Amino acid sequence: MFKLLLILFSVIKPSQIKGNALILFDPIASPKSEYSYYVLDLYELENLLGHFKFIYYHEPTNEYTKGDIFNFDAVFYMGEVDNSYINPDFLKDLLRYKKPVVWFKKNINNFSFEVGANMRDRFGFVMDSLSIGYFVNGKAGFYRNVTYKGVNFQKWFKVYPGKKEPEWDPEVAVTHILDSSKAEVIATIKWWGYGRPRRDEIPYIIRVNNFWYVAGDPMSFIATYTPYTIFCDLLHDMLNQQHSYPPRALVRLEDIDPTLEPSKLRKVVKYLYSHNIPFAMAVIPIYKNPYNDKVVYLHEAKGLVEVLKYAVNHGGYIFMHGTSHQQDITTWQKYNISALAYEYFDFDTKIPVPGDNMMWVYQRIKKGLKEFQLAGLPVSGFEVPHYAASRMDFFIFGKMFNLNYHRPALYMESPDEVMYENQFFPYVIYWDIYGETLIPENLGYISNYLNDVRPPDSVIAHARYLLAVRDGIASFFWHPSLADYTDAEHFYGIESLKKVIRGLQAMGYTFVSPVDLPELKEYFSR
């Protein structure tokens, strides 16, 4: 029986849909299960499918009904729970299925155990074991390094000062190729660090005709340098969609509020325009500081409005960055000042702000848009402050704006906590799970502080990994409030922006307009 597809048809035009996917996952025994995190992985996969204009339905394997997969154009199985029950009807159907199948990590041998398939004849490989690596006396070792398109990607590993255990992503299924004429190894993963396994290098991604096997979970930790980026690119092959664009880059000027000195913004705009670089501007229309009762409205900041109009006429595009980028409840946040505080979410407790409801969000956004109207400034889209809001809020953002320029927030509730993640993308997402069309931001901000984690060199280094994505876009943001910092030796102020731009251009990136991307023009024209 055909399933009801989980997507907002009120947002998506049926003519845009390229296919539909069925996603099967292991049943979760309890909300407290350590595997609850992989529900976030499920959402991240569904968001990525939005780049390929796929709609989707997901269900646990024990609810599968015989014949269902033949109603879908692609099938994904997320094998996160070892020895989990998989309906034999699903396995039998997959053996007859001719369209793309992507199988993650565990339980691949169930084809042999449950339905008697000969792994050599059908797949050409078999899973031997599950490697979780070692951590002994402060020394770690696990399968970590994946080389793809000449670039070394790494699974996540970090030891934080004062913590006994590291944060890492060690699990990999150890497979053995039985017939190389059937099983093609697309990427391998190598051992790193302490210990010595039986094999230093094992397959990480295997292809058997329409069947793809991924030996790990690329969504377990997403960063530009992790296998997540490899998976983002290989989805083109998995789903038989060959997008191709030269390397492109985006820059966004962040946290422009009505108190910003106009001269700082003008300096940056002049530099970008003189180098033929289009840019976005994240503008906060109302500045509030409840501790001194200071309120400044955009339409009253005549000097800044003049510069914003100049910017719009010289390659700039305005995105509304919340309404006040803070909340009016002074006891709710420690630093409840515009550009510092959250507006739609309480990050500490992982719950929506008091009073969050559909009408409140709508009215708040309309109030911000009114400021741009009074100032005579066009708005191209929306960016939620600190990329944080409730699920309902994100649905509203998708309904009220054609373009959103942020990372969506994903949530998984359990009795003990709310798990929260932001997801970045290396390319345009035509619809995410909230129905938003997303311009990618994936490199974060450039810091002007020597000891911070995002100096210019770091941003440039992360951009190199995105070159592996065939239609990848390197996208970062920078704060023009720092424009007048003058320590050029350490690339403070505008020098930090210039260094990143030069670095990306030297890698082959071309800076483009966020609203004039050809794939977006094609999408909105249909």
Distance (Å, whole) CA 425 – CA 422: 10
The DSSP line for 258-315 is TTS-HHHHHHHHHHHHHTT--EEEEE-SEEEETTTTEEEEGGG-HHHHHHHHHHHTTT
Q: ∠ CA 314-320-322 to the nearest 5 degrees? A: 150
Residue 312: Cβ within 10 Å count:
17
Distance (Å, whole) CA 512 – CA 251: 9
User: Tens digits of per-residue pLDDT, 124-138?
Assistant: 999 999 999 998 888
Using 50, 70 and 90 to split pLDDT, how confident is the model at 417?
A: low
Tokens of 451: 């000891």
Mean pLDDT of 466-492: 87
Domain range annotation of the chain: 14-238, 248-406+441-525
Q: How far is CA 48 from the centre of its chain?
A: 8
User: 310: exposed, middle or buried (C-beta count within 10 Å: 0-12, 13-18, 19+)?
Assistant: middle
Radius of gyration of the chain (CA): 24
Query: Which of 101-116 are b and which e, b meaning 16 or more Cβ less than 10 Å from the residue's Cβ?
Result: bbbbbbbbbbbbebee
- pLDDT attached to residue 7: 41
282: amino acid identity, one letter: A
Residue 137: Cβ within 10 Å count:
5
**What dotted CATH number matches 248-406+441-525?**
3.20.20.370
Range from 165-169, 317-321, 349-353, 447-451 carrying the lowest mean pLDDT: 447-451
- Backbone angles phi and psi of 217, in degrees to 5: -115, 95
Query: Is the model's pLDDT at 290 over the cut of 90?
Result: no
Query: Is the model's pLDDT at 243 over the cut of 90?
Result: yes
Range from 4-13, 163-172, 207-216 carrying the lowest mean pLDDT: 4-13
Q: ∠ CA 377-379-385 to the nearest 5 degrees? A: 115
- pLDDT attached to residue 92: 97
Q: How far is CA 479 from the centre of its chain?
A: 21
The DSSP line for 428-489 is -BS--TTS--B----S-B---STTSS--HHHHHHHHHHHTTSTT-EEEEEE-GGGTT---GG
Please name the residues in contact with 8: beta carbons below 8 A apart, sequence gap of 6 or more.
395, 398, 431, 434, 435
Mean pLDDT (the chain) is 91
Q: Give the whole-number percent of the chain exceeding pLDDT 70.
A: 91
Q: DSSP character for 29?
A: S
Q: DSSP character for 513?
A: -
Secondary structure (3-state) at 81: coil
pTM, entire model: 0.94
User: Tens digits of per-residue pLDDT, 147-178?
Assistant: 999 999 999 998 887 777 788 889 999 999 99
Distance (Å, whole) CA 377 – CA 371: 9
The DSSP line for 152-163 is EEE--EE--TT-
Tokens of 181: 């004429």
Class of the CATH domain delimited by 14-238: alpha beta
Three-state helix/strand/coil letters over 85-105: CCCHHHHHHHHHCCCCEEEEE
Query: Is the model's pLDDT at 5 over the cut of 50?
Result: no
Query: Is the model's pLDDT at 270 over the cut of 60?
Result: yes
Distance (Å, whole) CA 204 – CA 186: 8
